Structure 1
């Protein structure tokens, strides 16, 4: 547990001696660390984020027309939550996340972080508030001339933290992200995943209450992506830091987010707990993202035989999505028994979304029974989503 290696005077992990006593600043060192802005509460937690009617328009330039990047977006992220924003390229997600730390001031509306209206601060006050907000970038943004240690130390140097306190803080952060043995390596000597771990450590250096993640895993391979997401989930769970991330990958949302907002053309078109959006997507965009996940595709043996017209078909193929307790119910067996028909299990996937069991099943039912409405009526009593995939002659 992260809190087991926290030292009073710091809010991020530091190394322990073999005697299990903390190696940390005492006396003047502790006072200096506290004065530098390090919380004495090791689990100080995260901050809430509120966007209230936020719009952003980029003015016309030359022959290019003005661009309305964000349109009256209102959302609320409670402290300690992992909130995901998913959208395609150009949907406005990068602009949205940059409004949270004040890099893009909104044209209209308010951005409130930890009770402070970020969008109304002057430059000096905004710089101070940004210490509460860490940022993780897609392409790492590490300085090639600095070692891993020096990259993590940079934000602390810029705000005048004493060298001894910096060393203690940075060593703890590098231990947290699993890079204690790479502290003297330069970015060119690190893998993509290691670079991103340095980026996460740097983002945590100023003791933030919020972490913003801008496509932080999109440049990484799947295995490295999973390890980075696991690290972010651990930071959230054990330090309580609020995380807002943007991505175009629904797998990232599924892996660690508590809630998700779907953005399209500058507007949030769908929002809710991740397991609910997966089970009952309302918009075509959400359905498209969910449909792109591995295991969602129609079984290969069926794909070439399916057709839209049920005329003359012997079997209708349905996709059932079950979430929560319903995923553990014998739905297929019960359907066959109730209607006195053979229900064929054609494929599927059993998984989980957070703490919620999740099942995706492809079944085949006699087309004449489907057409007379008995299958639809029987499944209506179950807590699931039913989609007609097609028909087989």
Structure 2
């Protein structure tokens, strides 16, 4: 019983620190408050700090030092995301514990419990569900929760591994994603569905159940398309005159204005949040990093993303990287830096692991030569 209570709070606290974003309490970023609560929780549950956390966070401080130093001269609320990147790593051990210990699949249970709210929102014609978080953050939360539950299911650590639970969880996940009215969420839904199908391809009962569900949905959509289009109008309305598409095109066009700045230090380390390029965050982590934090951090981000893609299967962190996919995809389509600090921490950690493993290989080869 106690084990399952701890597992429940592990999931809740991990999600809280992952998605607290730009919330603030009397001007203080809520991230720091949640982080402090997480530290106390780790101590109370015996999840003590280890040397690898200190080493990696020291690596991050050195990596981000130029941008942090340059930002000190023009401090903004936005600058906090640099410290979020460093501190967020302390949530990793909680994620480790979630995906390595058996217990109830709380990630899926929470999605199932939330589905009535999502269903009610859809049939009320709300278009885009707002529940504590906005729709563009909600679809990331649902995506992470579903994949986290799927990893537990696949690793046979979930106490209930019935096909019925999988089908109910997936159906609840689909309903929850549809309720956000987010096209980015639909892309995440497609990718996570493909991952699920590929992962379970050898289980005929599950695959046939999923096929039956998809066939039923297709037939229902075919006969009731007008009603469905009215309920989910935002998901089927694509036009450049649409504020969503037009706004993003404008951000891409405006991004080039960044290079009009005559100060090379601004080009290298960014203009900060209050800049002449964007009046609002551009819903794209690449563009925002370039303008707000400069070419230096952009190069680190792109390089880390390349390492992530090429060496994901060889990093020894397959399960961890899968969990962050919805956030990584979402960062290219929506949200600002204060929503996407998680991406930087995960990507930089892959680089750190690669460098660390490379150093170990060199030391091993050197010892062999010395013999």
TM-score, structure 1 length as denominator?
A: 0.25
Which has the higher Rg, Structure 1 or Structure 2? Answer: 1
Larger relative contact order (Cα-Cα within 8 Å, sequence gap ≥ 6): 2
Higher strand residue share: 1
